[in-house]
Amino acid sequence: MEISSGVYLLFLLNLFSFGRILSSATVFKLQNHCSFTVWPGSLSGNSAALGNGGFALSPGSSAQFQAPPGWSGRFWGRTGCTFDNSGSGKCITGDCGGVLKCTGGGEPPVTLVEFTIAGGSSDKDFYDVSLVDGYNVALRVEAIGGSGDCKYAGCVTDLNTNCPAELRVMDSGSIVACKSACTAFNSPEFCCTGDHATPQTCSPTKYSEMFKNACPTAYSYAYDDASSTRTCSGSDYLITFCPTIRS
């Protein structure tokens, strides 16, 4: 069957457009440098969750996913997980409702990496590592091949080793996570709520300052924007669990 020149031209235009969509996708690579398996969880605010919401990442392994322009979401690491063949089970830290493939966020305390990828009127990606929901595993994010500020963000220190007694989460006699003061005490001055719901009325506390001193490039409390939010344009991202300490 002979194809008309008009149909063929339309085919080429569609192919070109599809190629542009693929080329503008942001690539996330997650790698596990821990000595134990990590089960990353993912959650999207505006599209399907990457990696079906959750998967296992054994020591030394990695996984890679593409996100479309305008994607926003988060990743976190779950530890001490056990799942059956149907994907039901539980994690000691970061659990998301007893399932392998998360449809909701990780249960605090958990270290988060958050993204809003450029799209629409914005040409910049925004990203950060957050300890606002506490800490369970060291995590680092690096921009690869982008332009602009593109600074590293992360918490490479093991906060569990120096976690105050009142913030500790214990399992079998070991500290497995460190709560945020908000999670531990649920009071406005620590959660930046009520009378403390603005940057002017919610100040750092001794607990958030402890997190900040250990991890200067991570969010330590809700209004810790200036030294924690990163921007970059046209970048892919490398997310590492249990990264080596950077100079």
pLDDT of residue 14: 42
Q: Tell me whether residue 181 is in a domain.
A: no
Q: Using a CB cutoff of 8 Å and minimum separation of 24, what contacts does 118-121 make?
A: 118/69, 118/70, 118/233, 118/234, 119/68, 119/69, 119/70, 119/71, 120/69, 120/70
* Token output for 216: 């200067």
| Cα–Cα dist 146/56, whole Å | 28
Q: Tell me whether residue 237 is in a domain.
A: yes
pLDDT of residue 19: 36
Tens digit of pLDDT at every position of the chain (247 positions): 454 545 434 433 343 333 333 447 899 999 999 999 999 999 998 877 899 999 999 999 999 999 999 999 999 999 999 999 999 999 999 999 999 999 999 999 999 999 999 987 778 999 999 999 999 999 999 999 999 989 999 999 999 999 999 999 999 999 999 999 999 999 999 999 999 999 999 999 999 999 999 999 999 998 887 778 999 999 999 999 999 754 3
Q: Which residues contact 51 (CB under 8 A, 6 or more apart)?
A: 40, 42, 63, 65
Q: Tell me whether residue 67 is in a domain.
A: yes
Q: Tell me whether residue 7 is in a domain.
A: no
pLDDT of residue 83: 97
The candidate with the shortest Cα–Cα distance to 66, out of 39, 91, 42, 100, is 42
Number of structural domains in the chain: 1
| Cα–Cα dist 153/230, whole Å | 7
pTM of the model: 0.87
Q: Tell me whether residue 189 is in a domain.
A: no
Say which CATH number the domain at 232 has. 2.60.110.10
pLDDT of residue 55: 97
pLDDT of residue 23: 47
Q: Tell me whether residue 167 is in a domain.
A: no
Q: Tell me whether residue 220 is in a domain.
A: yes
Q: Tell me whether residue 59 is in a domain.
A: yes
Range of the domain at 109: 26-159+211-241
